[in-house]
Amino acid sequence: MNINRDFLRELQLQSKNPGTWTGMQSHDSGTYIPSHSPVDGALIGEVSVTTKEQYEEVIAKAQEAFKTWRMVPAPNRGEIVRQYGEALRKHKDALGRLVSYEMGKSLTEGWGEVQEMIDICDFAVGLSRQLYGLTMHSERSLHRMYEQWHPMGIVGIISAFNFPVAVWSWNSMIALVCGDVCVWKPSEKAPICGVACQQIFQDILKENNIPEGVVSLVNGDYKVGEFMSKDHRLPLISATGSTRMGKIVAAEVASRLGNTLLELGGNNAIIITPNADMKVVLTGAVFGAVGTAGQRCTSTRRLIVHNSQYEKVKEVLAKAYGQIRIGNPLDSDNHMGPLIDKAAVEMYMNAIEKAKAEGANFIVEGGVLEGSGYESGCYVKPCIAEANKDMAIVQTETFAPILYIMKYDTLEEAIAIQNNVPQGLSSAIMTDSLKESEKFLSAAGSDCGIANVNIGTSGAEIGGAFGGEKETGGGRESGSDSWKAYMRRQTTTINYSDVVPLAQGIKFDL
Ligand code: UN1
């Protein structure tokens, strides 16, 4: 495979070992994490693992930077984020290519991810003038009462490989306008994307004479994540990844009474009713299941299909799956690239085996692709299995393009099946019936954080609050009023009378 790597040069990532950037001049620990592209297996670069001593230095710098940053007026903080958005526009092509090459998602999705970063920058710039608090009427005369929002301090961000740049920006761009400083640990499976985002941000901080500790990067596996979750100097940890990881982080942060914002596993379903438009079903379901090779937390994993539509849906999907082109994601002819690594391939194969052992019937077979173009060993076939709602494998999130399809009779039954999983991130119904869609959206409907009508389960816009219930962790990131998770609320009462009347009419005369 011949991949032009000019994009690495544009992102100042020419050297084989770009090292980590933590806001410090030099940061080489001598231990490295290599990043191999799942596209062709080639070594893209290495980052040095952050030691405990280096972590302490990063936190000290971040603490120092917070003292300056929290006093910069919020709209001026928004101006820095605006400049970052501009820089991302300039580097959209190169950064999108790096995302595609390091993570394996299709180039259009790589660009889409950078677009998601740009969108959140725009959102955060506007937000920087809208961090509103409420004013209340005091029960005491000549008193004023209101609430104000202050920055919290250092926000620790732990992100996953599947959205190696966008998820960090959802958190950090919002946190930054709120006046927090950010320390980011990207996934060790896509660390070079983290270095690129960091380099671009550091240039902007330098140009504006702002302390580099406002945005920092640390690298490593769960041990570095543990430095963060156990560190009382980090009042908020925002973690994206598996439910298993989230439970550990939640317990560690809770034991020091810190705050968490968790965005964990999904097991997202689409309900297809007799009133569904098949064209809409096709794009929504196939992109949901196959996009990003099934490695989104919002990927469609289950189709719950009305009896009357079942055979038709099976037929239409099987035909569509036959047309999916799998290969180098940088080639825009391909719909689907590789899984992130061979361990992911193994998990995919194990899930297929388990599904078969539990009696699932594969109507589109899976398997690992071999031969020319597939040398990295990470390319697999998307597959579809007829399954039962209660099978253990159907209850599990497998980060791979495996779609389980099942039947229902009544809408109530379909909603019950949809809700009958431990996770609660995203959900959808395909219908042109107002009654069906309203039932799905009612309090007795979907129990997920995201509920869509005639849209697949993935591909949320940044303007809404993103996250889900149950084992998805309950956090909300990105749009709407998610910013409140990054700030502390202060209720203030001011007495401008000459006496001190006590609330609730209490008398205390001296
Ligand atoms: C994720 O997979 O962690 O809604 C995030 C979507 C994307 C974000 C997914 N905007 O599919």
Identify the CATH number of the domain in which residue 362 sits: 3.40.309.10
Please state the domain count of the chain. Answer: 2
Helix then strand then coil, % of the chain, to nearest 5: 40, 20, 40
CATH of the domain at 68: 3.40.605.10
Dihedral of alpha carbons 47, 52, 55, 57, sign = negative
The reply to whether 507 falls in a domain is no
- Strand, helix or coil for residue 60: helix
Name the nearest CA neighbour of 194 among 228, 222, 218, 171.
Answer: 218
Active site residue 365: no
Point out the ligand 1 atom lying closest to the alpha carbon of residue 450: 4
Same domain membership, residue 274 and residue 260? no
Cβ 296 under 6 angstroms from ligand 1: yes
- The single residue of 116, 252, 263, 471 carrying the catalytic annotation is 263
Query: Is 300 within the bounds of a domain?
Result: yes
Claim to verify: residue 324 and residue 238 sit in the same structural domain:
no
260/272 same-domain check:
no
Q: Are residues 357 and 259 in the same domain?
A: no
Number of other residues whose CB lies within 10 A of the CB of residue 362: 15
Tokens read off for 103: 């993570």
Classify residue 122 by its DSSP letter: H
Q: What is the rounded CA–CA span in Å between residue 111 and residue 148? A: 38
Together in a domain, 236 and 296: no
Q: Is 459 in the pocket of ligand 1 (CB under 6 A)?
A: yes
Whole-angstrom Cα Rg for the chain: 24
- The b/e string for 95-126 (b: 16+ C-beta within 10 A; e otherwise) is bbbbbbbbbbbbbebbbbbbbbbbbbbebbbe
The upper half-sphere exposure of residue 48, i.e. CA atoms within 13 Å in the direction of its Cβ, equals: 17
Q: Is 164 in the pocket of ligand 1 (CB under 6 A)?
A: no
Residue 479 falls inside a structural domain: yes
473 lines ligand 1 (CB under 6 A): no
Place of tokens 């391939």: 345
What is the full per-residue pLDDT of the chain (510 aa) written as tens digits?
567 888 988 988 866 566 666 654 456 778 889 999 999 999 998 898 999 999 999 999 999 999 999 999 999 999 999 999 999 999 999 999 999 999 999 999 999 999 999 999 999 999 999 999 999 999 999 999 999 999 999 999 999 999 999 999 999 999 999 999 999 999 999 999 999 999 999 999 999 999 999 999 999 999 999 999 999 999 999 999 999 999 999 999 999 999 999 999 999 999 999 999 999 999 999 999 999 999 999 999 999 999 999 999 999 999 999 999 999 999 999 999 999 999 999 999 999 999 999 999 999 999 999 999 999 999 999 999 999 999 999 999 999 999 999 999 999 999 999 999 999 999 999 999 999 999 999 999 999 999 999 999 999 999 999 999 999 999 999 999 999 999 999 999 999 999 999 999 999 998
Same domain, 321 and 288: yes
Residue 445: give the domain boundaries. 268-463
Question: Does 50 lie in the same domain as 125?
Answer: yes
Beta carbon of 128 within 6 Å of any ligand 1 atom: no
Gap between the Cα atoms of 110 and 104, Å rounded: 9
What φ, ψ does residue 273 adopt, rounded to 5°?
Answer: -95, 170
Beta bridge partners of 45: 35
Residue 433 backbone phi and psi in degrees, to 5? -90, 125
Q: Which of 274, 222, 218, 271 is nearest to 24 (CA)?
A: 218
Nearest Cα neighbor of 59 from 226, 182, 220 is: 182
Among residues 297, 378, 383, 448, the one annotated as catalytic is 297
Give yes or no: residues 291 and 242 share one domain.
no
Q: Which amino acid is at 150?
A: H
- On whether residue 36 sits in a domain, the answer given is yes
CA distance 335 to 206: 40
**Tokens at 126, concatenated:** 């506007």
Q: Does residue 91 sit in the same domain as residue 216?
A: yes
Q: Which of 105, 262, 297, 423 to mutate to test the pocket of ligand 1 (most atoms within 8 A of CB)?
A: 297
Tell me if 2 is assigned to some domain: no
Q: How far is the CA of 44 from the centre of ligand 1 (A)?
A: 25
User: What is the CA 352 to chain-centroid distance, rounded?
Assistant: 26
Q: How far is the CA of 459 from the centre of ligand 1 (A)?
A: 6
Does 499 reside within a domain? Answer: no
Active-site residue flag, 263: yes
Ligand 1, atom 7, residue with closest C-alpha: 459
Residue 31 Cα to ligand 1 midpoint, Å, equals 31
446 ligand 1 Cβ < 6 A: no
> Is the same domain home to 259 and 275?
no
pTM over 0.95: yes
Q: Is residue 386 part of a domain?
A: yes
Q: Does the residue 428 lie in any domain?
A: yes
> Same structural domain for residues 93 and 151?
yes
Q: Are residues 227 and 314 in the same domain?
A: no
Residues 6+ apart with CB under 8 A from 207: 83
